[in-house]
Amino acid sequence: MHLVDGFGRRVDYLRLSVTDRCNFRCVYCMAEEMTFAPKNEVLSLEEIHRLASIFVSLGVKKIRLTGGEPLVRHNFIWLVRRLGALPRVTQLAITTNGALLRKHVTALKEAGVSRLNISLDSLDDATFTHLTRFGKIAEVLDGLAAAKETGFSIRLNSVILKGINDHETLALVDFARANGCDIAFIEEMPLGGLARDRAGESIRNDTLYTQINAHYRLSPLDYTSGGPARYYRLPDDSIRVGFISPHSHNFCSSCNRVRLTASGRLLLCLGNEHSLDLREPLRTGASDQQLRECIIDALRLKPERHTFNHSEEPQILRFMNSTGG
């Protein structure tokens, strides 16, 4: 059985948020003062596992665990072990800010996680703290070192903002080279009402590509990690440089993913509000088959494309942490 939307796109990738809470408050993701979902509205780990199992029975092969920061979720490793044991899952990955990785890398590896995406927007301590508000770069770098020692495949994720960290683009590529990690530059997603000049600070990836290509001759690759990144090879290194560009290079025609929020909302598109509440039927006695039918029917609501626009205020006021990063 496969999940196919109304435009013939096959969905085999589930981004699964386990919490909307985070130990950082990144300026492009969250407000400094946040109100989080009440505990009774957040899916239990058992509920998350049940829904994930149903998605796998519908043809999902890749699961990425997100948040908020997934590693702050109590008993998170219990869930990871069970997801790692699901048949037909070819890739179990996690997106994390890295600050808590040192404590968990061995358990994550043993549970079946193969790939980590670690957010790293700056190598400068002061700039890093400004961007994350609460983050300490030393903890993230220590977590990255632990992940490397444990043998994970790692991609760094960087959001570049004009006048804040745009002078570090090449330094971040060089850091990725030195550490044997892939790196992806992500255009800021216009979600949530953030009190900052988002339009003035946003940078298109075309600009970053030009900067990097002027220094390193980039060669396009056919490689895909199962997500929206377009990858390039450096002439003298095996690492990949990726660009996730919802504004400048729309990738909706090849979208293969849906998101399940920590509160049980199935989001069918990052840039639209088309969604289905799975928590209510889950908690009112729906069978697995009834939940499968709900999910299959919901795919008909998946829109053809998002409507992000750099020059406009966001029409979607949910923050990225409640969306699932």
Element (H, E) at 183: strand 182-186
3-state secondary structure of 144: helix
Alpha-carbon Rg for the chain in angstroms: 19
Q: Residues 6 or more apart from 212 whose CB is under 8 A from it?
A: 169, 170, 173, 218, 241
| DSSP for 100-115, written as a single string | THHHHHHHHHHHT--E
Q: Where are the domains of the chain?
A: 3-323
Q: Evaluate whether 164 touches 158 at the Cβ level (below 8 Å).
A: no
Element (H, E) at 95: strand 91-96
Task: Give the Cα separation of 145 and 139 in Å (integer).
Answer: 10
pLDDT at 80: 98
pLDDT at 310: 46
Give average pLDDT by consecutive 10-residue segment, the chain, 325 residues.
90 96 89 86 98 98 96 98 96 97 97 97 97 95 98 97 96 97 89 53 91 95 83 94 81 85 90 84 98 95 69 49 58
pLDDT at 252: 78
What fold is seen in the domain 3-323?
TIM Barrel (3.20.20)
